[in-house]
Structure 1
């Protein structure tokens, strides 16, 4: 269906159909006989046999646009509608958020490392007291390493990682700080921010060149121009940014560590563009 919407008008009508049908689904109207079903979605329903009554997804994350499209196309009801957070604590658990001062997360702001305690939480690593002490504190709290935020409706949203480790779509774990440390060994590079997402299979990044080293480095390879002009030479999967990350602009902590969540917000337009242009 997406491939057939080649003209601006067809794309507009397809998006309008998805929005209209999804609004019906959210309001509890489940049907497959609307105008949009006849014009757009009947082909999809027929392609899956025409008798789909329930669709279930779990384990790996699925993007919101994909969920929205299938709910609209198939007329699926929303059961346990929990997009955007991990829900509320179960009855057998205590959950608290603990301050992570060097990353500027504080429990008074409803943000911090997620700690869990309860009968269903593991008691430790077999015959490995050192690893057990790393995971469980003296009061029995499991420190997950995930940074969470309590939402107004009482649900918990995971927003960051304490150790800044994340997983890409293909299951590969990434330690971005290690990659950043390698890139900053290059003399023309002043700062680097490496970014990845669970629904993407590759990394993108933001590079701040060193204004003292970049011009001479560029001249050696035959590229001339001012520092600002040189920064306009963009490369694949990387956005070259002329302004450094600082405490003042809110992109570094007082200990000069990168505020990864703030950096992702600050460069969200560029990051989206990098993913779209690279795919």
Structure 2
């Protein structure tokens, strides 16, 4: 597998010349730390580069799960290109399986859209097989059968892409559960059901991922109650499109959402940090609901991506001194 040259990245060169200032950091580790693996959640490139310079030894991202003995992929210490988890460990077979309902196929040659598009050698759900894969969950054959197929492949629930040089990049999540950047697991459907308990909310789409510390939400308002709310705020308009853009209305709806989340006993990290109001209901016709009226989460993310980015720019969700916008 080809690697980048064993040189520090350009944006780290200035810091590299100042290594003497940071030499005490490694000395406090008794000078014995040669490489630092990181995992559990993706790390911002800014954070990776900062600590590579500050500590003066390589940081590498790894990937895996408890069911495959922890680590199945790990980046090479000589590779300074952040955002991927390297090549498979020698003990592990890895393949990508089609997730057609989300538009991911092993035959895909590109990922992303517009300026963010890049070439790949396949996309799909990441699956592991090998001696490190577990034999099953304790006294839980049903759950074991859901995780491991008849051929012994462990289905991770994560969506990955093969980069052209054989490294793996995690890009999405198949299962309706994800981890925030601080390591907390979130079940968005549970939160959406709680949010919908507000009299002001008709439908909700809660978004978060492992590059962000907080949740944001796209909320379809309950028209009649929101119009009444607007009048109580001294707003005469009854146009729901106009009201969805009104800061006072948005703030009042968000305040009520926070109230119902607290009343339901949700943790603070499960409470939506900020919202946008969307006047058009989610439906089968606009491809945001399945025929059984379940939210098509992947399609909702694509449809509301500009709004999601705007919401994250409004909240304190800082990594490495920058708003995290890699969604």
TM-score by length of 1: 0.69
1:99 aligns with: 98
Deviation at 1:165, TM superposition (A): 0.8
Deviations 1:189-231 (A, max 9, x none): 2332212232433211121224465324533565432212211
2:276 equivalent among 227, 236, 239: 239
Deviation at 1:152, TM superposition (A): 3.2
**Which of the two has higher C-alpha Rg?**
1
Asked whether 1:271 is paired with 2:301, we answer no
1:182 equivalent among 175, 194, 213: 194
SS at match of 1:115: strand
2:213 aligns with: 201
Whole-angstrom distance in 2 between the partners of 1:253 and 1:99: 19
CA RMSD of aligned residues (A): 3.9
TM-score by length of 2: 0.60
2:21 aligns with: 46
Deviation at 1:174, TM superposition (A): 0.4
Deviation at 1:47, TM superposition (A): 5.0
Distance 1:253 1:68, change over 3 A: farther
More strand by proportion, 1 or 2?
A: 2
Deviations 1:149-193 (A, max 9, x none): 333333332222222211123322100111112223445423322
2:47 equivalent among 66, 71, 83: 66
Asked whether 1:141 is paired with 2:153, we answer yes
Deviation at 1:135, TM superposition (A): 1.8
Deviation at 1:66, TM superposition (A): 1.9
Whole-angstrom distance in 1 between the partners of 2:81 and 2:15: 26
Distance 1:151 1:252, change over 3 A: farther
Deviation at 1:133, TM superposition (A): 1.8
Distance 1:238 1:73, change over 3 A: same
Whole-angstrom distance in 2 between the partners of 1:105 and 1:126: 32
Asked whether 1:150 is paired with 2:162, we answer yes
1:8 aligns with: none
Q: Which runs of 5+ in 2 are unaligned?
A: 59-76, 109-121, 252-272, 317-327
Could you say which structure has the greater relative contact order, defined with CA pairs below 8 angstroms and 6 or more residues apart?
Answer: 2
My pick for the range that moved more, 170-179 or 205-214, is 205-214
Whole-angstrom distance in 2 between the partners of 1:259 and 1:268: 14
Deviations 1:238-261 (A, max 9, x none): 122334445666655666544444
Distance 1:127 1:69, change over 3 A: closer
